[in-house]
Amino acid sequence: MKKQIITISRQCGSGGHTIGEAVARQLDIPFYDKKLLEIVAKESGFPIDVVEQQGEHVPSNLLYSIATHISYGFDYIGRKNTYSLPDQIYAFQKKLIQELAKSESCVIVGRCADYILRNNAECLHVFIYGKIEDREKRVVSEHKIAGGDAKVHILDRDKKRRQHYEYYTGQKWGAVENYNLCLDSSYYGIDICTKIIADIQNR
């Protein structure tokens, strides 16, 4: 079977993570979401929760930048580092994603993977989105977030993902031209979205 690399970008609550996991299972290839963060944490020396939180942020202002330089003033091999924390984590993620794509078939969720691998002809880039009311329901049932807080949570996560993506890529998050396939999980549901991605890859 030829190498298959699928990147999945997704709106919060759209089921993109679940779809990515199911596609990886169907195609019997590794799935990188939390696992990618664990490798970055291990290689960089940053705690996993820092990688998780900062890895989808942007260096927002000078004060923040100074603060993160004080906390993380040295890189993982002890060199003085002048880059902001999100910049350092982005650099680790980018290198890891490029290495993964060179060595194996896999599904990668988030982390600007579509942009990092934009010139790799073996890649399929997918964007998953959905109606806000369906995303609210999914966030409430899967992430145990109270109903009233779900919309605020979704809009906040999407805003951070958009800012992070646009800061590091210079592209518009969720614009069709960055992806090969964009699927509305509200219309199709998780199983059909999985089927559309995996069946075509299996052709």
Which of 43, 45, 156, 187 binds a copy of itself (CB under 8 A)? It is 187
184 binds a copy of itself per the rule CB under 8 A:
yes
Which one-letter amino acid corresponds to residue 17? H
Residue 144 or 203 having the CB closest to a copy of itself: 203
Stretch that binds a copy of itself, among 38-46, 87-95, 142-150, 190-198 (CB under 8 A): 190-198
Dist. CA 94–CA 97, nearest whole Å: 5
Q: Return the structure tokens found at 76.
A: 């993982």
**Which helix (H) or strand (E) covers residue 184, if one does?**
strand 181-184
167 binds a copy of itself (CB under 8 A): no
Confirm if 193 and 181 have CB atoms less than 8 A apart.
no
Contact between 183 and a copy of itself per CB under 8 A: yes
Distance CA 192, CA 23 (A): 11
Is 39 a binding residue for a copy of itself by CB under 8 A? The answer is no
Residue 9 CB neighbours (<10 A): 27
Q: Which of 75, 181, 189, 190 binds a copy of itself (CB under 8 A)?
A: 181
In single-letter form, the type of residue at position 187 comes to: Y
CB of 42 to a copy of itself, least distance (A): 34
Selected from 36, 179, 194, 198, the binder of a copy of itself by CB under 8 A is 179
Q: Answer whether 81's CB lies under 8 Å from 66's CB.
A: no
**Distances 24 to 11, 49, 128, 136, 193 between C-alpha atoms, Å:** 19, 25, 16, 25, 13
192 binds a copy of itself (CB under 8 A): yes
142: left (phi over 0), alpha (psi -120 to 50) or beta: alpha
Q: Return the SS3 of 9.
A: strand
Q: Does 124 bind a copy of itself (CB under 8 A)?
A: yes
**In the complex, what is the shortest distance from the CB of residue 5 to a copy of itself, in angstroms, rounded to a whole number?**
13
Query: Closest CB to a copy of itself among 50 and 128?
Result: 128
Smallest distance, a copy of itself to C-beta of residue 161, A = 14
Residue ranges that bind a copy of itself, judged by CB under 8 A? 124, 127, 129, 174, 176-177, 179-184, 187-188, 192, 195-196, 199-200, 203
